[in-house]
Amino acid sequence: MKETTMATMAQTEHVKVTVKDLKGKVDPDWCPGCGDFGVLAALKQAIAELGLQPHTVLTISGIGCSSNLPGYLNTYGMHTLHGRALAVATGAQLGNHHLKIVVTGGDGDGYGIGGNHFVHAMRRNVDLTYIVMNNQIYGLTTGQLSPTSSKGMNTKSTPFGSVENPVNPIPLAIAAGATYVARGFTGQQKQLVELIKGGLQHRGFALIDTFSPCVTYNHDNTHEFFKQRTRKLEEMGHDPTDVHAAMEKGWLWGEVIPIGLFWRRQDLPALDQLEPVLGAGGPLAHRPLGVAPDIARALIAELM
């Protein structure tokens, strides 16, 4: 199986996929101890446990340390522009709504530079799973304030402490229309795998905000910081179908920081289910182009 190619896999849907089979062609260059290793491991485990074939999954990212992830995973992958991963993912999902779309990135990429796309992808309920590796700092550019950095935090760009209130992605996502809203922690791998599996199985926009400590540039929000404070929602008696409780739990931040599934609703159609042109004939990617091959080649060459 290790040497199995994508083409061969396409012909052998029944072949069992293991975590080992999902290893990418290059190894991560993250700092030793980076939380992103935990996200990569959990995503591989979730894909394997759900029995998803690599050629049925497309992983898309923006820019940042965490956005290198598609290169470390044996699925289709795209490393796109800073903050634009969700826009690309929306197009890919509408082009082939049979693919399982996974978007990965960081808090700066997703909640800052890509904030506009984040809100609108959620209100459209695009069928994808968005895993944000939230380390509360811009790590790739060596430690500037990010949208989720705590108020008062000293960083390279705020040497006297941040005066800004941080973005709270959980209430924001619920209010914007995301239909699966969860928070994980790389120090709770078993729960994180289940949250990702839930997101992959959900029909609609699934956000999994994940505490992924940056061991190099964020010395406030460390692995130990979250280990001492995080509490699992399932152990707090939380009902993820109660939107008021979800908002209330989403705002908790202090000695207790909830992790788990905050909110889920399954009564809303995803964007591709509302597009009449996608209702018959299968994915656009599998249909004839409708123009002569030479014209198609010229158009593709012009666009590329």
Q: How many CB atoms lie within 10 A of CB 89?
A: 28
Q: In sequence order, what are the residues at sequence separation of 6 or more whose Cβ sits closer than 8 angstroms to the Cβ of residue 212? A: 34, 35, 36, 38, 39, 66, 133, 134, 135, 186
- Which tokens sit at 140? 């790739």
Beta bridge partners of 132: 105, 209
pLDDT in single tens digits along all 304 residues of the chain: 333 444 444 445 568 999 999 999 999 999 999 999 999 999 999 999 999 999 999 999 999 999 999 999 999 999 999 999 999 999 999 999 999 999 999 999 999 999 999 999 999 999 999 999 999 999 999 999 999 999 999 999 999 999 999 999 999 999 999 999 999 999 999 999 999 999 999 999 999 999 999 999 999 999 999 999 999 999 999 999 999 999 999 999 999 999 999 999 999 999 999 998 898 888 999 998 888 989 988 988 998 7
Q: What is the pTM of this model?
A: 0.92
Q: For residue 205, what pLDDT is reported?
A: 98
Name residue 270's amino acid: A
Q: How far apart are CA 15 and CA 277, in angstroms?
A: 33
Q: For residue 2, what pLDDT is reported?
A: 37
Q: How many CB atoms lie within 10 A of CB 18?
A: 13
CA distances for 201 relative to 21, 47, 153, 253, angstroms: 21, 10, 37, 29
Q: For residue 282, what pLDDT is reported?
A: 87
